[in-house]
Structure 1
Amino acid sequence: MAAILKIGHRGAKAHLPENTLASFLKALEMGADGIELDVHVCATGELVVIHDFTVDRTTNGSGEVHKMTLAELKKLKVEGGHTIPLLDEVLAIVNKECLVNIEMKGRHTARPVSDFVDKYVKERGWSYDNFIVSSFQREELLIMSDINKNIPLGILTQASVTQAWEWAEEFSAKAIHPHYSLLTESNVKKAQQAGFKVYTWTINETEDIERIKSYNVDGIISDYPERL
């Protein structure tokens, strides 16, 4: 039986502010095999790592991420004095040590993420297997599948394993990423038999973690990487 990948949700979100360099480092220190993060394109074109479409919840500022320049975003403070990182900055500290699950959160992220991953593979010695790019957004998944067949895709869903499976077939995805409440031992096995990895999110309670582990999923995303 293959080991189940331990993936830190937005780093080690239970321990340090989400999507910060410190949080990603903490996840690695806790033995994570991968990190999950969220990206948007800011007004000056860079890929920044933040979950929400606005900066209001996680920083001391206010406004929509895609309307703010990198300089404006970098002036903001996340709780604890942290800053919003560039995707480049996250990969610099990861340095190929783990899987990087990039969730395309904002609109119009597929092309810049494709270019970004290609740059790391062709110029910096990374492999496409170092990445999985996921999204709930059909439009972004469609664009990515059209423009770059090399990048492993993950289909996120909170509603239906069947829908994720259908999209995975349509977009030649590597994996489905269902919420753990949707999983059964049977549908996990069927998805894997169809050739898809099953990476599930976000499981934090030990009882739930052990139950989902018993289904032999391929990876678990958690705020507590040390519990996996």
Structure 2
Amino acid sequence: MKIRGVAHRGYPLRYPENTMSSFQAAYDLGFTHLEMDVHLSKDGIPVLMHDPTIDRMTDGEGWIKDYTLEELKRFRVGRNETIPTLEEALLFAKGKMTVKVELKQLGNLYPGMEETVLEVLKKTDMLDQVFISSFNHYAIANMRKLSSEVELGLIQWGSTPTVFPFMEEIRARYLSLRVEYLTDDFVERCRRSDIQLIVWPVNLEWQFDKAARYPSVLCVTDNLEHFKEMYEQRFQ
């Protein structure tokens, strides 16, 4: 049974987040969507990590932007993994899963990030399997200027009607927000606007129960096996 849900950074409760083993585990469990976080190396290569530094996830320290890809690959993630590139991860997911690529564009920390990520999507022939999202709505607007084809999404903390005119303007079809802010009215507003609503986190039973009231909503989870159990009990 396919599990209609978003594996958040792969399966971070059991494997190092944003790694190939974590992505493989999400695929093996049957998840339809995969989320990953992107930064740029010193030499402009999109690499996967949530934080702007390597301190938490590797045996090294420092800012991602201060290391070349070759240097980043020398650090260990977990016991024996390396920091993946966006290209490596997309090639893994190709033909298997829809991918949510989150741009970690903090202000203008990474000049040229949108152009570079778009190049990777085209190089891997993954435009039809990926949507780009970010808390940085300027970065998403810039992505639309660069491409009329790429699918776009916005991430925000809560629900607000002011987001809809902007989404219509840039033709963004995905909207992510905290599960606490999920309401009947907001789900209906997204339905009328043909927007795919995504909520996070959906790790606990009350979060799942709240989101499951709306079958159209996509759930982002870290606790993949528990989510799978709840999903199969509710929807099989």
Cross-structure match for 1:150: 149
Structure 1 residue 210 displacement after superposition: 2.2
Check conservation: 1:156, 1:164, Cα contact below 8 A. Answer: no
Q: Supply the AA of the counterpart residue of 2:103.
A: M
Q: Supply the AA of the counterpart residue of 1:144.
A: M
Check conservation: 2:3, 2:32, Cα contact below 8 A. Answer: no
Q: Supply the AA of the counterpart residue of 2:189.
A: K
Find the aligned partners of 2:189 and 2:45 in 1 and give their Cα distance.
39
Structure 1 residue 186 displacement after superposition: 2.0
Secondary structure of 2:139's aligned partner? helix
Aligned pairs, number: 221
Q: Supply the AA of the counterpart residue of 1:93.
A: F
TM-score by length of 1: 0.90
Give the gaps of 5 or more residues in structure 1.
none
Aligned Cα root-mean-square deviation (Å): 1.8
Cross-structure match for 1:36: 35
Q: Supply the AA of the counterpart residue of 1:174.
A: R
Structure with more relative contact order (C-alpha pairs < 8 Å, separation 6 or more): 1
Identity in percent: 28
Aligned 1:1-228 pairs, distance under 5 A? 5-106=4-105, 107-108=110-111, 109-121=113-125, 126=126, 128-226=127-225, 227=227, 228=231
Secondary structure of 1:129's aligned partner? coil
Structure 1 residue 47 displacement after superposition: 0.8
Q: Supply the AA of the counterpart residue of 2:26.
A: A
For residues 100-145 of structure 1, what are the alpha-carbon distances to aligned partners after superposition, in whole Å with 9 as ceiling and x for unaligned?
A: 1100113332111111112222xxxx4x331111001022112101
Structure 1 residue 180 displacement after superposition: 1.2
Check conservation: 1:176, 1:196, Cα contact below 8 A. Answer: yes
Give the gaps of 5 or more residues in structure 2.
232-236
For residues 157-214 of structure 1, what are the alpha-carbon distances to aligned partners after superposition, in whole Å with 9 as ceiling and x for unaligned?
A: 1144434434322321011111212111221121111121112222111221122111
Q: Which segments of structure 1 move beyond 6 Å, counting only runs of 4 or more? A: none
Structure 1 residue 80 displacement after superposition: 2.7
Secondary structure of 1:22's aligned partner? helix
Cross-structure match for 2:234: none
